[in-house]
Every structure is written in C-alpha cells, then in structure tokens.
C-alpha cells in the first residue's frame, strides 16, 4: 500500500525577555540551581502573578510577522496537573482565547514550490522547571531546579499541513529564522530556547480521514527532529502493514541512542481541568499597541532575501541562506563591505564558514574568524597577494587562533610570487627537466593541447610550493610553449 504522512508541529519558543512572564526574576540561562526562582516562581503561599509587558509584545510581534488574526482580548487559564517541576500544580497558559489567532508561514519545498503552512494559533504560557534524574544525589531521588519555571513561552501550533520530514525541518528552520530575526527568541536550541513537539500520523494515499497520531515531545535539534519523524513514520507503517493499530500516545526520542519510546506514565487519563485564572484579568490588545509594534518590526527573512538579491546581485539560494539568520546577514554585509566583493563574500560564508561552524557545532557569535578578518582575506585574493588555495590555509590558521590575515601571510611567507623574472625561471626549469612531456605536448594536435597544460602547471606550482601566481604562470607557460612550437618549424 502507498502511505501518506501527515505532520503537525507544536513549537515552544522561549521569549527573550529579561524577566519571567509573571515575576521579576531573571531568565538568564545557566545560573546556579534555584538562584533565579523567586517567591512567585516557587508558588509560595499568597504570591500572585503580574504579566510581563515585553512577553505580550513579543507574542504580538510573532503574530504580526505571520499575518495572524490578533483578537482584542486573550485570557489566561490554569492547566491543572501535578509534577515536581510545576510549583503551582497548574501551568498558567491560554486555551480558549489565545493571544495570536490563525496565521500562515510560507516555506519552499524541496522541488522549489512554495507551500503555505497554516498556523492554528500561538498562545502565551509559562515554562516549567527542570527535573534532574541523575547527579550526586541518591538514585532514589530526582532533583528539581526551578530557575526555568515561569520563563515566558509562546507555543505555536500548526495545522497538520506538513507531508514529510524534510518539509517539517524546512518549516522548523524557517520558524527559527523568523523568531530570531524578530529578536523575540535567542534561538539557542541546545539550551532549549526552541523545542519541537511533532504530531505524526500516516494514512493510505488518497484517504480523506486522518490516521491515529502520536506526539513526540521536546525535540531540540533539527537533526533529531528529522530522524524522529522518519523513524516514527517507518514504525507506524510497519505496525499498520502488520495489521496492528497505532496507539495515540506521547513519545520521547533520544537523539543520542536514536531510540524512541512511549511515555507510559503520561498515558493515564489526564484531565487538566482548565479554567480561567482568577488571579489574572483578560489581556486587552489595543490598536495603538499593534500600530507601535508594527512600526518596530525588524526586517524579516523574506524581505531580507529579496534585498540581498537586489542589492548584491546574489543568487536566490545564497541570499536565502544569508537572510535566514539576522546575525549572518549582518556578518555578510560587513564582509562584503570590507572586501568590496559580495559574491566572494557569499561564497566564503555559505561554503567555508558555515561548514566549519556546523562541523564544530559553533554559533556565529563564537566564530574564531570575524567579519573584518574574512573581508581582509578575500581582499588579499582579489589583490593577488595570495591564491585562493593559500587563502584556505590562512583561513584554517586564523580558525585555530594563529593570528590575523596579514600577519599569517607575512610570517609564513605565503605571498604569491608574481615577479615575472622569477616565474619565467621556474617555467624554464620545469620545461627543461621534462623533455618527454614537452615532446608529447608538441606532438599533440592543437585543439587537444590545452588538456596537457595541467601537468606543467602542477609541477610549477609544486616547485613554487604553491606560491606562484597561477594566472601569470599560465600566461608565461603558454608563451614559452608557443615559441617552442614556432621553433620546431611548424
């Protein structure tokens, strides 16, 4: 049977506010355990929540960016369940009246088409704390750190509009680019700033009804998300083809072991007993507020892509990569300005730089080579101080902390040899040492001689330890060979 996959996502986005959603405690990541849990976050008796204005603004900015309906009034509710990292015994969240209504995000599918992914809604809520299950405490215990408790989140819920893992990841990356461009989230997935829950179901191709879905929770990397979806789709198809049934359940995927499992304990009939939180009043969003936010919206990835294509004559593909992350865009713009060669800047960034950052799992912030250095490096290629090949060596050296571009070129004597006298000598030496190759060249028909040039070039570059200016060498070599052809009396 042919199967069709249906995927919907729920994305938890930690908002980049200074303080918690309902308290004035700091949200800084990495502080000592429980040092940023104030009386409100700890649900001390008699404490009360007050809503953070910035969290509201960030949620609304997201809504504006996805062209969503924004209702005038939204309401916080209590979602009741017991868990040690949930101090109040309920999560303050939104259900019936979320702050952001239906919207849309457009993605480009692998075959180049545009696809609209409908956003069902996005709501504001508080994050829970963290439960640690291993540490230097007895194995009979779990330990609770409530620093994260009360960190503002928006939970974005999509319609089940995605059809495969690649689309889901494309969408996820697009969303990442969007929230970081808006400045509402720091985008640090390893720190849990963006977490994806994936709802997956399969159905016979052409079927109108949805299959039973499972939810895989808390995926915090694009790679894990892709793997988890592929594995879950395969699992569901296997189950169905063996005549089994899919059980609606919550699953966890361990990216390190590549093993997914059902969270049995979550399967007990949960009854969250939602009701409007009486400690908070309905949140009114005025048209003035929306106007102010609309004006303050930064340039979004799509607009940036268009601008990069127009302003720098980049390809759509390069521009998209560079526009995805606002920091990367500004990095590119600095490099391009420094070296006055936007295409070269784009090539170096999308190729060498991103490759190295990815393979070493680094954020752009932590790149060992800054925009200024990369700009100078590209300049040194343009002004023929070094060859492109040499430039890669210099890049590596800077990466490993050896110093700055010009310093490295000087210290290691990497300047190209462009002195024509020295180059002529090199060419002459190579030709005289290889009479057989010369004879072979001369014997070759004219229109096939070009292919034979590589052999000479290789030897000359080797002799110059790579420092010879290849264009110049090529020119001299052709002249010398031409005069030999003439001399041979053709």
Partner 1 sequence: MYKLSIAELGEGLRSKAFSSRELTEYFLRRIAALNPLYNALITVTENSALAAATHADKQLSSGIGGDLCGIPVLHKDIFCTQGVRTSCGSKMLDSFVPPYNAAVVENLASAGAIMLGKTNMDEFAMGSSNETSFYGPVKNPWDISRVPGGSSGGSAAAVASRMAPAATATDTGGSIRQPAALCGVSGLKPTYGRISRWGMIAFASSLDQAGPIAGSAEDCAILLQAMASYDPRDSTSVERSVPNYRATLNNSVAGVKIGIPKEYFLSGLNPGVEAAVMSSLSTLRDLGAELIDISLPNSHLSVPAYYVIAPAEASANLSRFDGVRYGHRCADPEDLEDMYRRSRAEGFGEEVQRRILIGSYCLSAGYYDAYYRKAQQVRQLIRQDFVEAFTQVDVIMGPTCPSPAFKFGAKGDDPVAMYLEDIYTIATNLAGLPGMSIPCGLVEGNPVGLQLIGNYFDEASILNVAHQLQRVSNWHTQHPEGLD
Partner 2 sequence: MSLDKDQIQKLATLSRIAIDDATLEAVSERFSSVLDLVDKLQAADTLGVEPMAHPLQTTQLLRDDIISEPNHQEAFQKLSENIHDGLYLVPKVIE
Residues binding partner 2 (CB under 8 A): 17-19, 23-26, 32-40, 42, 44, 50-56, 73, 75, 82-84, 131-133, 135-137, 139-146, 252, 263, 265-266, 271, 273, 276, 278, 280-284
Which of partner 1, partner 2, none has residue 54 at its interface (CB below 5 to 8 Å by kind)?
partner 2
In whole angstroms, the minimum distance from the beta carbon of 259 to partner 2 comes to 14
DSSP code string of 430-475: HHHH-HHHHHHHHHS-GGGGGGGHHHHHHHHHHHTTT-B-HHHHHH
Q: State the CB neighbour count (10 A cutoff) for residue 237.
A: 15
- Return the number of the residue (57 or 226) whose C-beta is nearest partner 1: 57
**Inter-residue contact 178 to 298 (CB < 8 Å):** no
Inter-CA distances, 18 with 53, 63, 189, Å:
11, 21, 18
275 binds partner 1 (CB under 8 A): yes
Does 139 contact partner 1 by CB under 8 A? no
The verdict on 137 binding partner 1 (CB under 8 A) reads no
Q: Could you give the count of Cα atoms lying within 13 Å of 380 in the half-sphere of its Cβ?
A: 27
How many CB atoms sit inside 10 A of residue 379's CB?
17
Residue 51 binds to partner 1 (criterion: CB under 8 A): yes
Side-chain-side CA neighbours of 260 within 13 Å: the count stands at 24
Smallest gap, in angstroms, from Cβ of residue 292 to partner 2? 13
Minimum CB separation of residue 85 from partner 2 in Å reads 8
Residue from 31, 42, 95, 354 touching partner 1 (CB under 8 A): that is 42
Check if the beta carbon of residue 56 is closer than 8 Å to that of residue 124.
yes
Distance of CA 299 to the CA centre of its chain: 18
Q: Which does 90 bind (CB under 5 to 8 A by kind): partner 2, partner 1, none?
A: partner 1
Q: Does 364 bind partner 1 (CB under 8 A)?
A: no
**Measured distance CA(419)–CA(104) in Å, rounded:** 60
Helix (H) or strand (E) holding 121: strand 114-126
Residue 128 CB, nearest approach to partner 2 (Å): 12
By CB under 8 A, is residue 195 in contact with partner 1?
Answer: no
Closest by Cα among 67, 77, 460 to 278: 77
Q: Are 43 and 25 in contact (CB under 8 A)?
A: no
- Residue 55's binding partner out of partner 2, partner 1, none, with CB under 5 to 8 Å set by partner kind: partner 2
Tell me: does residue 362 bind partner 1 (CB under 8 A): no
Chain residues binding partner 1 by CB under 8 A are: 39, 42-51, 78, 80, 82, 84, 87-90, 142, 144, 271, 273-275, 278-281
């Amino acid at each position: 049977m042919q199967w069709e996959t249906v995927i919907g996502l729920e994305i938890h986005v930690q908002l980049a506010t200074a303080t918690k959603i309902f308290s004035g405690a700091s949200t800084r990541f990495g502080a000592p355990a429980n040092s940023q849990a104030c009386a409100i976050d700890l649900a001390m008796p008699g404490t009360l929540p007050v809503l953070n204005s910035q969290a509201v603004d960030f949620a609304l900015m997201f809504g504006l960016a996805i062209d969503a309906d924004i209702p005038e009034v939204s309401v916080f509710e209590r979602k009741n369940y017991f868990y040690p990292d949930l101090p109040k015994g309920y999560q303050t969240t939104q259900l019936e009246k979320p702050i952001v209504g239906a919207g849309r995000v457009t993605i480009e599918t692998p075959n180049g088409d545009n696809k609209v992914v409908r956003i069902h809604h996005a709501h504001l809520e508080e994050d829970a704390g963290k439960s640690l299950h291993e540490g230097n405490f007895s194995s009979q215990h779990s330990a609770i750190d409530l620093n994260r408790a009360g960190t503002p989140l928006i939970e974005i819920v999509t319609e089940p509009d995605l059809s495969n893992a690649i689309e889901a990841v494309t969408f996820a990356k697009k969303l990442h680019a969007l929230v970081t461009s808006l400045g509402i989230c720091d985008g640090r997935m390893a720190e849990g700033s963006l977490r994806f829950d994936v709802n997956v179901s399969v159905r016979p191709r052409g079927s109108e009804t949805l299959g039973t879905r499972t939810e895989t929770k808390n995926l915090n990397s694009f790679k894990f998300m892709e793997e988890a979806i592929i594995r879950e789709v395969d699992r569901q198809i296997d189950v169905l083809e063996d005549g089994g049934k899919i059980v609606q359940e919550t699953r966890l995927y361990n990216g390190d072991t590549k093993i997914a499992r059902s969270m049995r304990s979550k399967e007990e009939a949960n009854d969250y007993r939602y009701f409007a939180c009486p400690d908070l009043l309905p949140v009114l969003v005025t048209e003035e507020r929306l106007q102010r936010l609309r004006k303050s919206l930064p340039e979004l990835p799509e607009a940036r892509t268009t601008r990069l294509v127009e302003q720098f004559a980049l390809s759509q593909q390069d521009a998209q990569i560079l526009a995805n992350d606002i920091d990367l865009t500004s990095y590119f713009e600095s490099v391009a300005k420094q070296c006055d060669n936007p295409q070269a800047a784009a090539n170096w960034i999308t190729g060498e730089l991103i490759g190295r950052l990815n393979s070493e799992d680094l954020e752009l912030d932590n790149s060992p080579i800054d925009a200024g250095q990369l700009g100078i490096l590209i300049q040194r290629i343009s002004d023929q101080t070094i060859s492109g090949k040499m430039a890669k060596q210099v890049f590596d050296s800077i990466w490993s902390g050896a110093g700055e571009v010009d310093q490295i070129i000087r210290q290691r004597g990497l300047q190209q040899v462009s002195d024509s006298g020295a180059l002529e000598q090199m060419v002459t030496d190579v030709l005289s040492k290889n009479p057989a190759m010369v004879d072979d060249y001369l014997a070759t028909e004219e229109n096939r001689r070009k292919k034979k040039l590589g052999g000479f070039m290789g030897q000359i570059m080797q002799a110059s330890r790579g420092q010879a200016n290849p264009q110049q060498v090529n020119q001299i070599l052709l002249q010398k060979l031409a005069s030999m052809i003439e001399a041979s009396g053709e």
